[in-house]
């Protein structure tokens, strides 16, 4: 039983807490004993008393729900800062007025005020705003009216800007005003002063009985019939006169300026598909009106419509296009609109197309012309392409032959007058430089921006010359030296047919070499122990030398040597076999001669005998004398 009572009390506390969160349930927290702060009994009064029955009061804490009450009602509020709003019909509302609540009780008075009103002093009408009051005063109580005007066809103007008819009330502001009048033959008064001046007092109407417009014979122009009908008539830049469109039959009077005795009339008549008629004439006071030709027939005008199309279309609006004739330019419209051009007296007329392209673009077909025909539409196509880039080439070293440049597809490129190459922009280029006697030089891939000028250097390497010869024996050594005696290359390939590549001069010019074929213990003949030949190498060309055959020295001695009894000189064909100034290889050959069994003595360098030869060569020959 006790557990059931505790459960009921617990449920009651939860219900009380839920009620505290709703509007107007704050007292539940107090009665339940959960809140230790004592509430304040607060009473709110509304002034004036007339507003109390209909006043609505709402009080709220920050972040809480509002509590609604009536004027004079006492409620329990927790201490703190409360925001109170009060509203009542016919009064300005009070919104979120901050009030501090504390203590056991508190009385608060909130005063409401009525909205401001504006009262008409004449009819005592009330208006919520000053603008409404001023509008009522202007429309109902401050106006001007003219009862009668002479002549009846005269037109009156209030303050030189507002037309006013007899019997018509026109609202005006308090202060000075004037009315002028104009008839078919004159103004109100000469010299052009306002004829009727009056002052309007606030809230009082102004009634004018009669205004007379005298006949002063103003300068005038009379518009007659015009063909075609519907033509636009302009007099001194005006298409409206007295608020109406100037049409055939209209008489236009213009008042001369102050101090002037005449008026210049400029009449222009225009119509579609017709030539413009314009004429000017000066009239003085009391001159007869100027009669425009009646009927005025506008001659037909030759015209043609031009539609502009720009490719690519996305840069259409950035391209100005003109049609030019005799130095006169006619700019064409963009988009779907057509441009109508006056062909003058010609039914067919030719124009030159001129453009102002956007940056990085140029006209593809520069200097094009277009022919326009009367009353026909012609489409002008302007094709734009991006500005080409220009490539300038330099060569290192500068070749002695002309260089040809080929594109990626093998097409020969022709240089411009300045030697540069015109290339398409924003695409990858693969160029190859070629020259006779030089190796092909492919340039690195590059891309040019529109209008870019670029300089590239091509390294032109001369093609090597080729030296061909046959040697025997095949293991002979070929030694190539340059003009300075420096060994360039040595060939020991061991083949009979030899092919040796040799470089020409750095700029591709010819270069001299010496080719020497040697083999130890071998000579070509007794007069030429080895084989030496001078050769000139040209770029890219092949030079063939005569075949070189070396034979062992002992074989040559068996067939060519003979003994001369007059001093032991070895002869061949009755000439000394070995002469002075021999090189080391020739000394070795001489030592080989001494090994032959039929040779008893060798004379070297003329008077030098075998015994006087260096010891090395004597020992090598196997004889010691």
* pLDDT score recorded for residue 18: 52
pLDDT at 269: 92
- Per-state percent for the chain, helix, strand, coil, to nearest 5: 10, 45, 45
Which tens digit of pLDDT belongs to each residue from 84-121? 898 888 788 888 888 888 888 888 888 888 877 777 76
Rounded Cα gap, residues 599 and 181, in angstroms? 158
Residues 433 and 501 in one domain: no
d(Cα 61, Cα 40) in Å, to the nearest integer?
Answer: 14
CATH number at residue 185: 2.60.40
Judge whether 522 and 557 are in contact, CB under 8 Å: no
Q: How far apart (Å, rounded) are the C-alpha atoms in residues 218 and 285?
A: 6
DSSP strand E in 397-510: where? 403-406, 412-413, 421-423, 428-429, 432-435, 441-442, 446-447, 453-459, 465-472, 477-482, 487-491, 497-502
Residues 239 and 293 in one domain: yes
pLDDT surpassing 50 at residue 289: yes
Last residue of some domain: 264, 297, 330?
Answer: 297
Region of poorest pLDDT, from 22-36, 71-85, 222-236: 22-36
For residues 216 and 534, which has the higher predicted lDDT (pLDDT)?
A: 534
Angle at 85 between CA 79 and CA 87, to 5 degrees: 145
CA dihedral 159, 163, 167, 170 (to 10 degrees): -60
Residues 232 and 289 in one domain: yes
| Residues 445 and 470 reside in one and the same domain | no
Long-range contacts of 156-161 (CB under 8 A, 24+ apart): 156/180, 156/181, 156/211, 157/181, 157/182
Does some domain include residue 556?
no
Consecutive H or E run containing 544: strand 542-544
pLDDT at residue 11, as a whole number: 57
pLDDT(416) > 80 = yes
Q: What is the mean pLDDT of residues 205-227?
A: 79
Percent of the chain past pLDDT 90, that is, above it, reads 5
Of the pLDDT bands very low, low, confident and very high (cuts 50, 70, 90), residue 183 is low
Q: Decide if pLDDT at 582 tops 50.
A: no
Mean pLDDT of 442-470: 89
Q: What is the pLDDT of residue 455?
A: 92
CB 452 within 8 A of CB 429: no
Answer with the residue of higher pLDDT: 258 or 241: 241
Which region among 148-152, 445-449, 559-563 has the lowest average model confidence (pLDDT)? Answer: 559-563
pTM (predicted TM-score) = 0.38
Same domain, 53 and 105: yes
pLDDT band at 30 (very low <50, low <70, confident <90, very high): very low
Q: What is the CATH number of the domain that holds 545?
A: 2.60.40.10
Decide which of 607 and 84 is more confident. Answer: 84
Overall number of domains in the chain: 8
Tell me: pLDDT of 152 over 60: yes
78 and 98 share one domain: yes
DSSP string, 214-251: ------EEE---EESTT-EEEETTBSEETTEE--TT-E
Q: Calculate mean pLDDT across residues 117-143.
A: 74
604 and 571 together in one domain:
yes
What CA–CA distance (Å, rounded) separates 382 from 308? 8
Are 41 and 35 a contacting pair, CB within 8 Å?
no
Of the pLDDT bands very low, low, confident and very high (cuts 50, 70, 90), residue 526 is low
More reliable by pLDDT, 545 or 33: 545
The average pLDDT across 22-50 equals 63
What is the pLDDT at residue 385? Answer: 86
pLDDT tens for each residue of 55-87: 888 888 877 788 888 888 888 888 888 888 988
Rounded-to-integer distance, Cα 262 and Cα 208, Å? 33
Q: Is the pLDDT of residue 491 over 50?
A: yes
**pLDDT for position 574:** 35
For residue 431, what pLDDT is reported?
92
| CB-CB contact of 42 with 77 (8 Å) | yes
Flag whether pLDDT at 432 surpasses 50.
yes
In a domain, 290, yes or no: yes
> Domain range holding 340?
302-386
Q: What is the CATH number of the domain that holds 400?
A: 2.60.40.1120
Higher pLDDT, 155 or 278: 278
Are 482 and 423 members of one domain? no
What's the DSSP call for residue 257?
P
Average pLDDT, the chain: 76
pLDDT at 184: 53
Q: Which residue has the higher pLDDT, 256 or 1?
A: 256
Residues 149 and 207 in one domain: yes
Residues 331, 320 contacting (CB under 8 angstroms): yes
**Per-position b or e across 337-375, b if 16+ CB within 10 A of its CB:** ebbebebeeeeebebebbbebeebbebeeeeeebebeee
The pLDDT value recorded for residue 214 is: 64
Long-range pairs for 616-623 at CB < 8 Å and ≥24 separation? 617/587, 617/588, 617/590, 617/591, 618/591, 618/594, 620/588, 620/591, 621/591, 621/592, 621/594, 621/595, 622/594, 622/595, 623/594, 623/595
What average pLDDT does this structure show over 597-601?
A: 43
Residue-wise pLDDT for 338-377, tens only, equals 888 888 778 888 999 888 888 888 888 888 899 998 888 9
Average pLDDT estimate for 278-298: 84
For residue 32, name the pLDDT band (cuts at 50, 70, 90).
Answer: very low
Task: Name the more confident of 524 and 184.
Answer: 524
* 275 lies in the same domain as 310: no
Does a structural domain hold residue 93?
yes
Query: What pLDDT is stored for residue 210 in this prediction?
Result: 86
Q: Identify whether the C-beta of residue 429 lies closer than 8 Å to the C-beta of residue 456.
A: no
Listed residues 255, 271, 297: the one ending a domain: 297
The verdict on 231 and 166 lying in the same domain is no
Q: Would you say residue 477 lies in a domain? A: yes
Domain finish residue from 428, 459, 490: 459
Mean pLDDT, range 258-284, rounded to an integer? 85
Q: Please give the DSSP secondary-structure letter assigned to residue 504.
A: -
Does 308 reside within a domain?
A: yes
**Statement to judge: residues 254 and 317 lie in one domain:** no
Q: What pLDDT score does 268 carry?
A: 92
């Amino acid at each position: 039983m006790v557990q059931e009572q505790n459960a009921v009390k617990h449920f009651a506390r939860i219900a009380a807490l839920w009620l505290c969160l709703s509007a107007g349930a704050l007292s539940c927290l107090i009665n339940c004993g959960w809140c230790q702060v004592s509430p304040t009994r607060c009473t709110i009064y509304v002034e004036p008393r007339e507003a109390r029955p209909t006043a609505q009061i709402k009080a709220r804490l920050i972040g809480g729900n509002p509590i609604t009450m009536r004027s004079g009602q006492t409620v329990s509020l927790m201490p703190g800062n409360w925001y109170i709003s009060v509203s009542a019909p016919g009064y300005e509302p009070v919104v979120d007025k901050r009030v501090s609540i504390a203590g056991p009780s508190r009385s608060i008075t909130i005063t409401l005020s009525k909205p401001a009103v504006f009262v008409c002093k004449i009819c005592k009408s009330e208006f919520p705003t000053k603008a409404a009051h001023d509008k009522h005063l202007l429309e109902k109580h401050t106006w001007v009216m003219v009862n009668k005007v002479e002549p009846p066809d005269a037109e009156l103007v209030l303050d030189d800007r507002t037309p006013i008819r007899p019997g018509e009330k026109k609202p005006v502001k308090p202060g000075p005003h004037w009315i002028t009048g104009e008839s078919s033959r004159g103004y109100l008064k000469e010299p052009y002063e306002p004829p009727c001046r009056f002052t309007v007092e606030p809230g009082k109407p102004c009634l004018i009985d009669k205004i007379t417009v005298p006949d002063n014979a103003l300068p005038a122009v009379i518009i007659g019939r015009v063909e075609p009908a519907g033509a636009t008539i302009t007099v001194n830049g005006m298409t409206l006169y007295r608020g109406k469109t100037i049409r055939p039959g209209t008489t236009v009077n213009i008042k001369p300026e102050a101090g002037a005795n005449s008026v210049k009339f400029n009449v222009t008549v225009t119509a579609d598909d017709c030539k413009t008629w314009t004429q000017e004439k000066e009239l003085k006071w009391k001159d007869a009106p100027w009669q425009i030709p009646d009927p005025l027939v506008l001659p037909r005008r030759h015209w043609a419509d031009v539609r502009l199309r720009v490719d690519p279309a996305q840069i259409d609006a950035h391209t100005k296009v003109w049609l030019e004739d005799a130095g006169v330019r006619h700019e064409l419209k963009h988009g779907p609109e057509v441009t109508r051009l006056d062909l003058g007296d010609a039914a067919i007329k030719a124009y030159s197309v001129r453009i102002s392209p956007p940056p990085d673009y140029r006209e593809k077909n520069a200097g094009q012309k277009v022919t326009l025909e009367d009353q026909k539409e012609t489409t002008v196509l302007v094709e734009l392409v991006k500005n080409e880039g220009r490539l300038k080439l330099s060569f290192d070293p500068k070749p002695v032959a002309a260089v040809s440049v080929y594109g990626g597809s093998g097409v020969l490129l022709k240089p411009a007058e300045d030697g540069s190459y015109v290339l398409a922009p924003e695409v990858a280029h693969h160029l190859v430089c070629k020259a006779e006697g030089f190796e092909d030089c492919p340039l690195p891939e590059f891309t040019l921006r529109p209008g870019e000028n670029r300089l590239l250097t091509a390294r032109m390497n001369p093609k090597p010359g080729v030296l061909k010869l046959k040697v025997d024996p095949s293991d002979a050594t070929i030694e190539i030296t340059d003009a300075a005696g420096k060994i360039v290359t040595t060939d020991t390939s061991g083949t009979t047919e030899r092919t040796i590549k040799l470089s020409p001069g750095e700029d591709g010019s010819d270069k001299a070499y010496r080719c020497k074929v040697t083999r130890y213990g071998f000579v070509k003949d007794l007069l030429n122990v080895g084989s030496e030949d001078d050769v000139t190498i040209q770029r890219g060309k092949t030079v063939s030398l005569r075949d070189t055959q070396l034979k062992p020295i002992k074989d040559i001695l068996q067939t060519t040597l003979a003994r001369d009894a007059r001093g032991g000189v070895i002869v061949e064909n009755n000439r000394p076999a070995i002469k002075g100034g021999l090189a080391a290889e020739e000394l070795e050959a001489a030592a080989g001669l001494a090994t032959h069994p039929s040779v008893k003595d060798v004379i070297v360098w003329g008077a030098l005998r075998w015994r006087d030869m260096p010891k090395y060569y004597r020992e090598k020959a196997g004889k010691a004398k």
